[in-house]
Amino acid sequence: MRRLSLVLVALAACNNTGTTTTTQPSSISAISSTTTATPTSSVATSSIHDVTTTLPPRLAEITVRDGRHWDGPEAIGVNLGDEVILRVTSDQADEVHIHGYDLKVEVGAGETVDLSFVADLPGIFEVELENSGIKIFEIEVTP
């Protein structure tokens, strides 16, 4: 905002007519300014752009080997509303199941599967290989 004001002051000094009109927007997210000057006139333009920040999904990669959690985090904490991706690699065929959300996906022996969801329920949720009854991961969703 200060940079834009300085540009407008400089333009007013170069303006042959001696008049300057300045309008400031009521809400500014990001400003980009350009100035074009010729010997007889000066023109300042600014454009206002909304800046939207989108957080990447929380990714947890888990490897199951020999019937147990082998590699990757054993738990993660996420905020309510976060997008979560569980990437599970298993050396045995089974069903990856997120309790509480009741989300399931089949994984073949030696395969990797992704389970994506929005964490819209608060609490602590167990992820297991359903048929084997093996707990492989835990997700804590906090408000």
Which DSSP string corresponds to 54-86?
-PPPEEEEEEEETTEEEES-SEEEEETT-EEEE
Q: What is the pLDDT along the chain (143 residues), one digit of tens a residue?
A: 433 333 333 334 444 444 444 444 433 333 333 333 444 444 444 445 555 556 789 999 999 999 889 999 999 999 999 999 999 999 999 999 999 999 999 999 999 999 999 999 999 999 999 999 999 999 999 99
| Per-residue tokens: 66 | 């020999």
Domain map of the chain by residue range? 2-49, 58-142
pLDDT of residue 49: 52
Q: CATH for 58-142?
A: 2.60.40.420
pLDDT of residue 30: 38
pLDDT of residue 67: 83
User: Dmax over Cα atoms in the chain, in whole Å?
Assistant: 83
Distance CA 44, CA 77 (A): 48
